Structure 1
């Protein structure tokens, strides 16, 4: 297997457009996870027939994202420790902090719910807007990551559509369950 730098493509092709490779990797994995988590949480917390409480829902979405990010980072620490036969490096806190895109990805959903707390619109509207936003953001993250990987526009759009389908599955599930 040839030895090459992380962001140098075979054949000397430089990445085209999109995010830097390191940032794209972080956002693609953790950002998509956060967007899907936010969509699933906001859908689950918006129960028809119950009194709307968008403030409590916003808090639950944020706390769930923070707990998920911390758990994922800690799982990396435990996996490294197990692979190194009990030795853990000094980067434990860095491993947990590297999960920052996950809670950041839920902030638009939290903000939309906070706007509902202010009374500018209903919780139902906030949920619908959050689901549309998150689905569009999934497309953008997928397309941007594909562009960073050096794919052309058409292939990047296809990758974005595949990521967007995850959001559409959550929207469809929300519609069917209610």
Structure 2
């Protein structure tokens, strides 16, 4: 299959992961993302909840991204991000080890009530922290695609699988393509 869909999704994701908009992914971006998600989930600035969420995002930077950078590097540009992340599409074990770990870390943040699953309200609040222009109607449509068993909640498996599919799948029919609200990775249609 063509890499066009995958690259479009990765590029869209990079645009939002690059929280300060400088064209590079850094630890600072992860701090800003953590703060944004904490606010979206209703946690006040400086609160223990915000600190926990920011800590989770900084851990993602330090454990997932930083080890793959050259010694001494403190940033990852778009081209390197696209190339390294796209390579996971051909290595399911590496995708599970890296993006799956990211998904489990995100699950711990998104599951605001701690019941072990993510409902539609939690999904929207979590995603809105990453994608501030995401409309509730688009998040609800995405949620319906990601909720594979239709029980009204994303189980840990559904949540993590959606993230892995978003970041690694070339399959245009993969439910995980809906992770950010748009299966085409085109933010103009559903998120802006």
TM superposition score normalised by structure 1? 0.30
TM-score, normalised on structure 2? 0.28
**More strand, by proportion:** 2
Instruction: Name the one with the larger helix percent.
Output: 1
The higher radius of gyration belongs to: 1
- More relative contact order in 1 or in 2 (CA 8 Å, sep 6+)? 1
